[in-house]
């Protein structure tokens, strides 16, 4: 009898508590939604809505001059794909992104280790390393445009002194398809290296110091510690750095637009710059939108990687 | 950063210095070249054969003076600063409550929203600028600095929310609970008690949002057509390149004048940014 009494008494005493807690949680949820709403609404209007419009444009025949808007199915995509330049544009986009980010992933890891160490003049080195990132892309590209000038580039002077070029010879870096592509790759690597380094540095600073010290005490050498402990622990954050780098390089039009104008010929044209030339300069919004939309599958894939990483971390 | 790793072996120390020098050259060489160029006189600059790093004529400040007196460079800077500040203000007003909600109030259902907001950051302006130029026209903002003010939060809000969630989470919840016991409302506790605690985080978000707006090229190129409304990124290349004539010294000076102060501020805030990034990304 007493057992039953206590058994039934227990829920009675806890019930108001849980109810209040649930009510509090509901209220938190309501407040939370209200606080989230403005930011989410803003993003829906200024990112979600234009994204939907971009997709609609690509299935229509909309141009800059007219307000005519007819759905034409896949015709615009077909026009975009059958442009003789299109396969090259896609290829350049992947080549420039792939090679520049392969370089960045190696350099940023090394540079992060350098900046994590103590040395004299570190403040100044860090300042120089940050510069390519803090210079607006367009102005950074202008500096390179001058540095790679067909006549007054300092690289010609170096090459002449090293005997690669005869006296008065010119490399004309931006005049040859291969060298121009290499130049775009160099600028993209140069400007994305600082952010990648900072991200890896963040990862490096979160590795517990005692793990490293313990392994040092255990007699693991530098390379053993690097490949056995540090790099595996850094791998997820290096992936984050790589994702940022790929998104910024893959979708950038400023470097190509300023440095090469897509040239020589259309040898360095990428999807983003091509979309601008077609959509704004050419006045054909729908074809431009379709060209830009070809970036979407890759970006969607990257988003999927982010989602997988996020859910895996929650699973841990 | 400060209190970095001590390198004990001689070989290790030499490698660190060699690598540091290597990276300083890679990252800094274009700026050395730009700085030398900015101070050169025309006949000195446009001559080949001699060491291009040496001055054969005395350095001049004319190219920098020209920038400020004969071009709308000051106007470009002013436009960029106004656009950056207002866009950053919008960003803060919207992302502080959103980040607080995600850090404290939403619980499990907030996770997909947080991921969704971050994924927005992966949608690049180059994908959106064509329909966006139509939206801007419909809103009547074409060729106005307001066109840029309203679109920039589209990419600054996601990054800011992400950083701020991390900073909010670093504050122990007991502090707000105590404030609420003391009679503050939830929001009162957030504004009066939590925000002051994350002031360094707020500064970081301001610095990074502001500089992110300075990076944009394509929106500014697509939406603004008159010089008086242009930002630095678009104004400089359109006004200092006339046909085939490039005013190289002034162009170089314009880049250095913008890049150096931002890099100095970044260098100061880097540790906080790394901390915010670690809180947001690494710990999740």
Q: Is the predicted pLDDT of residue A5 greater than 60, yes or no?
A: no
Q: Which residue has the higher pLDDT, B129 or A12?
A: B129
Tell me whether residues B222 and A280 touch, CB distance under 8 A. yes
Alpha-helical segments (H) within A44-134 = 49-58, 75-81, 86-116, 122-134
Whether A275 is covered by a domain: the verdict is yes
Range 175-214 of A in CB contact (< 8 A) with B: 190, 193-194, 198-199, 201-203, 205-206
Instruction: Provide the domain count of chain A.
Output: 2
A24 and A127, same domain (yes or no): no
Residue A298 contacts B where some CB pair is shorter than 8 Å? no
For residue A32, what pLDDT is reported? 84
The winner for highest mean pLDDT among A53-57, A205-209, B71-75, B239-243 is: B71-75
Q: Judged by CB atoms within 8 Å, which residues 65-104 of B form the interface with A?
A: 90, 93-95, 97-98, 100-102, 104
Q: CB-CB: which of A49, A126, A139 is closest to B258?
A: A139
Residues A17 and A95 in one domain: no
Domain ranges, residue A145: 86-315
Residue range B72-282, CATH number:
1.10.3720.10
As a whole-number percent, the residues of chain A with pLDDT over 90 amount to 34
Q: How far is CA A249 from CA A78, A107, A275, in A?
A: 26, 16, 15
- The predicted pLDDT at position A145 comes to 94
Question: What are the boundaries of each domain within chain B?
Answer: 10-60, 72-282
The nearest CA of chain B is from the CA of A191 a distance in Å of 8
Vertex A24, ends B177 and A22: CA angle to 5°?
130
- pLDDT of res. B41: 84
Q: For residue range A132-176, what is the model confidence (pLDDT) as tens digits?
A: 998 999 999 999 999 998 888 888 888 887 877 777 777 788 888
Give 3-state DSSP helix, strand, coil % of chain B, rounded to 5.
Answer: 75, 0, 20
Interchain contact, A39 vs B98, CB within 8 Å: yes
Any residues with CB less than 8 A from the CB of A43 and at least 6 apart, and which? B117, B120, B154, B157, B158
The domain that contains A280 carries what CATH number?
Answer: 1.10.3720.10
Question: Does A33 have pLDDT greater than 80?
Answer: yes
Specify if A171 maps to a domain: yes
Separation CA A17–CA A20 (nearest Å): 5
Q: How far apart are CA B19 and CA A114, in angstroms?
A: 7
pLDDT attached to residue B266: 86
Q: Model ipTM?
A: 0.88
Q: What's the pLDDT at A2?
A: 40
Share of chain A above pLDDT 70, in %: 88
Residue B284, pLDDT score: 41
10 Å Cβ neighbour count for B29?
Answer: 15
Same domain, A129 and A275: yes
In a domain, A246, yes or no: yes
Query: How many angstroms separate the CA atoms of B161 and B254, rounded?
Result: 32
Tell me: do A213 and A261 sit in the same domain: yes
Above 60 in pLDDT, residue A304? yes
Q: Which of residues 119-138 of B touch A (CB under 8 A)?
A: 119-120, 122-135
Whether residue B134 and residue A28 make contact (CB cut-off 8 A), yes or no, is no
The answer, yes or no, to whether residue A14 has pLDDT greater than 50, is no
A231 belongs to a structural domain: yes
Count Cα neighbours of A246 within 13 Å in the Cβ-side half-sphere.
Answer: 22
Q: Which residues between 157 and 196 in chain B have a beta carbon less than 8 angstroms from any beta carbon of chain A? A: 157-158, 161, 186-187
CB contact under 8 A, A53 and B158: no
User: Which of A85 and A314 is assigned the larger pLDDT?
Assistant: A85
Residues A187 and A297 in one domain: yes
Encode burial over A112-122: b for 16+ CB neighbours within 10 A, e otherwise: bbbbbbeeeeb
The verdict on residue A73 lying in a domain is: no
**Rounded to an integer, what distance in angstroms lies between the CA atom of residue B97 and that of residue B187?**
9
Distance from CA of A256 to the nearest CA of B (A): 12
- Please indicate, yes or no, if residue A74 is contained in any of the structural domains: no
Instruction: Tell how far CA B205 is from the center of its chain.
Output: 10
CA dihedral B156, B158, B162, B165 (to 10 degrees): 100
- Check whether A10 has a pLDDT greater than 50: no
Do A129 and A15 share a structural domain? no
Average pLDDT, chain A: 83
Chain A residues whose CB is inside 8 A of the B180 CB are none
Report the gap between the CA of A9 and the closest CA in chain B (Å). Answer: 29
Contact by Cβ (8 Å): B122, A302: yes
CA torsion B224-B225-B230-B235 (nearest 10°) is: 130
Residue A72 lies in a domain: no
Compute the half-sphere exposure of residue B257: CA atoms within 13 Å on the CB side of its CA: 20
Whole-structure pTM value: 0.87
Q: Give residue A257's pLDDT.
A: 93
What spatial distance separates the first Cα and last Cα of chain B, rounded to whole Å?
22
Judge if A15 and A161 occupy the same domain: no
Q: Which chain A residues contact residue B119 at CB under 8 A?
A: 303, 306-307
pLDDT beneath 50: ranges in chain B: 1-2, 282-284
Top-confidence residue, A37 or A218:
A37
Any domain includes A43: yes
User: Which chain A residue has its CA at the smallest distance from B275's CA?
Assistant: A202
The reply to whether A164 and A233 lie within a common domain is yes
């Amino acid at each position: 009898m007493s057992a039953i009494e206590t058994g039934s008494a227990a829920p009675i005493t806890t019930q108001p508590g849980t109810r209040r807690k649930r009510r509090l949680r509901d209220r938190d949820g309501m407040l939370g939604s209200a606080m989230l709403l403005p930011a989410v609404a803003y993003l829906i209007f200024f990112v979600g809505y234009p994204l939907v419009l971009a997709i609609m444009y690509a299935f229509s025949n909309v141009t800059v001059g007219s307000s005519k808007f007819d759905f034409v199915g896949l015709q615009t995509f077909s026009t975009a794909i059958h442009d003789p330049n299109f396969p090259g544009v896609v290829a350049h986009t992947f080549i420039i992104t792939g090679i520049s980010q392969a370089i960045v992933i190696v350099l940023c890891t090394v540079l992060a280790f350098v900046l994590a160490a103590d040395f004299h003049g570190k403040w100044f080195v860090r300042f120089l390393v940050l510069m390519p990132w803090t210079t607006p892309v367009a102005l950074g590209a202008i500096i390179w445009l001058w540095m790679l000038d067909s006549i007054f580039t300092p690289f010609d002077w170096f090459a002449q002194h090293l005997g690669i070029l005869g006296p008065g010879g010119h490399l004309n870096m931006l005049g040859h398809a291969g060298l121009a592509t290499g130049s775009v790759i160099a600028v993209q690597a140069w400007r994305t290296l600082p952010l990648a380094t900072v991200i890896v540095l963040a990862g490096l600073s979160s590795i517990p110091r005692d793990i490293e010290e313990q392994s040092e005490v255990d007699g693991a050498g530098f390379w053993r510690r690097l490949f056995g402990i540090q790099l595996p622990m850094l791998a997820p954050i290096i992936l984050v750095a790589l994702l940022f780098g790929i998104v910024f390089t893959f979708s950038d039009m400023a470097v190509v637009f300023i440095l090469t104008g897509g040239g020589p010929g259309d040898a360095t044209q990428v999807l983003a710059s091509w979309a601008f030339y077609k959509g704004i300069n050419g006045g054909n919004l729908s074809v431009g939108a379709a060209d830009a939309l070809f970036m979407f599958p890759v970006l969607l894939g990257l988003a999927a990687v982010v989602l997988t990483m996020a859910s895996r971390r929650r699973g841990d | 950063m400060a209190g970095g790793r001590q390198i004990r072996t001689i070989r290790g120390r030499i490698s660190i210095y060699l690598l540091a020098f290597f990276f300083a050259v890679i990252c800094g060489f274009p700026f050395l070249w730009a700085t030398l160029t900015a101070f050169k006189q025309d006949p000195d600059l446009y001559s080949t054969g001699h060491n291009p790093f040496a001055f054969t004529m005395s350095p001049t400040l004319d190219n920098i003076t020209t920038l400020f007196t004969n071009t709308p460079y000051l106007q470009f800077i002013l436009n960029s600063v106004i656009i950056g500040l207002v866009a950053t203000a919008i960003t803060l007003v919207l992302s502080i409550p959103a980040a607080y909600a995600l850090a404290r109030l939403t619980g499990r259902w907030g996770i997909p929203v947080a991921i969704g907001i971050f994924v927005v950051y992966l949608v690049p302006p180059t994908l959106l600028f064509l329909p966006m130029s139509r939206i801007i026209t419909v809103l009547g903002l074409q060729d106005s600095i307001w066109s840029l003010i309203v679109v920039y939060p589209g990419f600054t809000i996601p990054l800011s929310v992400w950083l701020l969630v991390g900073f909010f989470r670093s504050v122990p919840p007991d502090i707000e609970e105590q404030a609420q016991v003391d009679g503050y409302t939830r929001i009162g506790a957030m504004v009066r008690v939590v925000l002051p605690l994350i002031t360094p985080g707020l500064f970081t978000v301001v610095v990074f949002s502001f500089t992110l707006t300075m990076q944009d090229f394509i929106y500014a190129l697509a939406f603004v057509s008159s010089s008086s409304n242009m930002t630095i990124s678009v104004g400089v290349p359109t006004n200092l390149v006339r046909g085939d004539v490039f005013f190289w010294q002034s162009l170089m000076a314009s880049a250095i004048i913008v890049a150096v102060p931002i890099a100095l501020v970044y260098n100061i805030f880097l540790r906080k940014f790394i901390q915010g990034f670690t809180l947001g990304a690494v710990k999740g």
